[in-house]
Structure 1
Amino acid sequence: DIVPSFGDKSAPDTRAEAGPYDESEANPVRPYIDLGAIKVLPREGLNLRLEVEEQSKQIVAVGLDYADSTLQVQAFAAPRSGGLWDETRAQLLEQVRQQGGRAEEREGALGTELLAEVPTAVDGGAPIKRLARFVGVDGPRWFLRGVIGGAAANDPIAAER
């Protein structure tokens, strides 16, 4: 079993050059789509979906669809002193296993990530297992969590796009 070390910030070594960026680090000349806590660089063929909490009408996640892949991104406030990804990843690992799925940690472009087979209910049939890749990045005072589905969940070439 994996024993995570809690409290350390988790971010890719290339975050300063390749992102995700803190608002203070982003190029102010580039034309970002401003979604509040998340800003997205537009790209040909990229479709955005806003996931809204019904009662508060607050945006809780942004869905990005590109080619045969999807990315759901959520932004959270975080302490300056420590990171949230290690603890969040351990909780996700436990949740997936409790649901009857499988998950394993591996190293990816954004650091340690979780590759999971998650049971998904199908109308009128037996549940199927859906492949999902969970990624997280701790920023200066924020934490981004992403869930990647479709081709980019396990295909490095699709993920690079």
Structure 2
Amino acid sequence: MASAADGAEDGPGDGDGGSAGPGAPGAPGGAGAPPRAAGAVDRSGGPFDVTEVDDPAEGGRVDLGGIWLPGVQGMELRVEMDQSSQQVVSVAAVLGQGAVQVQAFAAPRTEGVWSDVRREIAQGILGQGGRAGERQSALGTELLAEVPVRLPDGQVGRQAVRFVGVDGPRWFLRGVFSGVAAVDPAAAEPLEALFRGIVVVRGGTAMAPREPIPLRLPPQAQVDEDQQEQAPAEEGGADDAGAPARDDLKPFERGPEITEVR
């Protein structure tokens, strides 16, 4: 399994001060963005870097610290927290019987990481007895997988999931579509639009490649404490970008819940 420390550290100038900071303002994919590889996403329609938008709150986006997530009518927002650090490590937007889990990570200035991450995720799934294959879509090169899961009756079944990844200026955004959003294009469409509308706030702090960009509960969050179920750090805590965390594969497990967006 890859870890946040498996790559080389960001190059000179990637820390505070000097010429640090996310990619230069302007069109997505401009100065400061990694070179586009084959199958990479055209980011002109998102996801965006914070330097590429006038106001990240525009359109009703929710401030989650490292990302601004679009609000969609009827959406339920779930968060996963590391029990030891009490930090938010991932968020999942649920619409009906479909969901997309989102995590943002630091990445090198000069190259993207999705091609390597995609290969590592596939190897991990195949090693568990699952299935994995690639396809091209509007979100670039996706990884389609069937992941072994334990069913309520004790039998082992397979759950369909779609992994998508976008390389931005010094960040990498991963989305995991599950439920009907993994198999039904019509059901996935609003969640794909939501993913496209995300604004990433990398910040100028020096971070190791694949280190999670810190997230937080939104200021207006209303957490249901009675139903809060924090994830054990070893099972689904601060996972690196190279391997699916526990909630990547089980996004419908109950966790801290924020009231739905109406």
1:149 aligns with 2:178: yes
Which of 70, 87, 111 matches 1:82?
Answer: 111
Change (3 A) 1:148 1:21: same
Offset of residue 127 of structure 1: 1.0
1:136 aligns with 2:165: yes
Which whole-Å CA distance do the structure 2 matches of 1:9 and 1:88 have between them? Answer: 16
Which whole-Å CA distance do the structure 1 matches of 2:53 and 2:147 have between them? Answer: 35
- Map residues 6-155 of structure 1 onto 2, 5 A cutoff: 9=36, 11-13=40-42, 15-16=43-44, 18-28=45-55, 30=58, 31-155=60-184
Offset of residue 125 of structure 1: 1.4
Which whole-Å CA distance do the structure 2 matches of 1:115 and 1:27 have between them? Answer: 34
Which whole-Å CA distance do the structure 2 matches of 1:105 and 1:88 have between them? Answer: 13
Query: Alignment partner of 2:162: what SS?
Result: strand
Query: Alignment partner of 1:87: what SS?
Result: helix
Offset of residue 130 of structure 1: 0.3
Offset of residue 100 of structure 1: 0.2
Query: Alignment partner of 1:118: what SS?
Result: strand
Which structure 1 segments of 5+ residues have no match? 1-6
Which whole-Å CA distance do the structure 2 matches of 1:99 and 1:90 have between them? Answer: 14
Give me the CA root mean square deviation.
1.6
Which whole-Å CA distance do the structure 1 matches of 2:69 and 2:93 have between them? Answer: 9
Which structure 2 segments of 5+ residues have no match? 1-33, 191-262
Offset of residue 27 of structure 1: 3.9
Task: Tell me the amino acid that sits aligned with residue 115 of structure 1.
Answer: L
Which whole-Å CA distance do the structure 2 matches of 1:121 and 1:8 have between them? Answer: 40
Query: Alignment partner of 1:73: what SS?
Result: strand
Matched length: 153
Offset of residue 124 of structure 1: 4.3
Which whole-Å CA distance do the structure 1 matches of 2:76 and 2:69 have between them? Answer: 11
Report if aligned partners of 1:73, 1:145 keep a CA contact under 8 Å in 2.
yes
Q: Relative contact order, CA 8 A, sep 6+: which one is greater?
A: 2
Higher Rg: 2
Task: Tell me the amino acid that sits aligned with residue 26 of structure 1.
Answer: V
Query: Alignment partner of 2:164: what SS?
Result: strand
Change (3 A) 1:8 1:119: farther
- Structure 1 runs, 4 residues or longer, greater than 6 Å off: none
Which whole-Å CA distance do the structure 1 matches of 2:127 and 2:35 have between them? Answer: 26
State which drifts further: 115-124 or 127-136. Answer: 115-124
